[in-house]
Amino acid sequence: MSGAHPEAIPAYIGLGSNLGEPRQQIENALELLGRIPDSRLVARSSLYTSAPFGPVEQPDFVNAAALVHTTLGAWSLLGHLQKIERVQGRIAGIRWGPRLLDLDLLVYGDHRIDEPSLTVPHTGIAERNFVLLPLREIAPELVIPGLGQIGDIEVNELVPRISRIE
């Protein structure tokens, strides 16, 4: 396995969609996460609906988080996430704009990566309730490198508007 790690690394993935039947987009993506080579889908959060983040007028999002144990390297895993996005029809669009599917590598073990194509932990993770609440649900003891334990990170549960839907 080129670029693989000998032991499985816990990788946390954020999922979001607000176009093309968002709930189905997320469910399909979760199924495909379970098919990534050298990886195993271990946990998934409930689905949440949230108001859009950023300056673009658009429909509400459906969000979730997933935990995958993988022996793939971070860039290889990112490549598989991007492939899932493409398979489901994602094309590059407006920053913070509407999208069929967005898969973000949020946390990759205890690694900190700051490269042009990959930043882990994901940028802005501590300011986004649509990331933190699903993550807390599946990993209440998670320590996010550079930020601390997820339970200690203050979350505004009102802005942007968010609610659990299942």
Question: SS3 for 63?
Answer: strand
- The gap between the terminal CA atoms of the chain, to the nearest Å, is 37
Q: Is 114 a catalytic residue?
A: no
The residue to which tokens 């690694």 are assigned: 111
Q: Which residue in 23, 38, 60, 104 is the catalytic one? A: 104
Q: Which residue in 38, 40, 99, 114 is the catalytic one? A: 99
Q: Which residue in 90, 95, 152, 161 is the catalytic one? A: 90
C-alpha span between 151 and 155 (Å, rounded) = 9
**Contact predicate 45/64, CB 8 Å:** yes
Q: Is 99 a catalytic residue?
A: yes
Q: Which residue in 23, 35, 60, 102 is the catalytic one? A: 102
**Contact predicate 67/43, CB 8 Å:** yes
A 10 A CB-CB count for 70 gives 24
Strands 118-120 and 143-144: unpaired
Q: Is 102 a catalytic residue?
A: yes
Q: Is 110 a catalytic residue?
A: no
DSSP 150: G
Using left for φ > 0, alpha for ψ between -120 and 50, and beta otherwise, residue 154 falls in beta
Residues serving a catalytic function are 90, 99, 102, 104
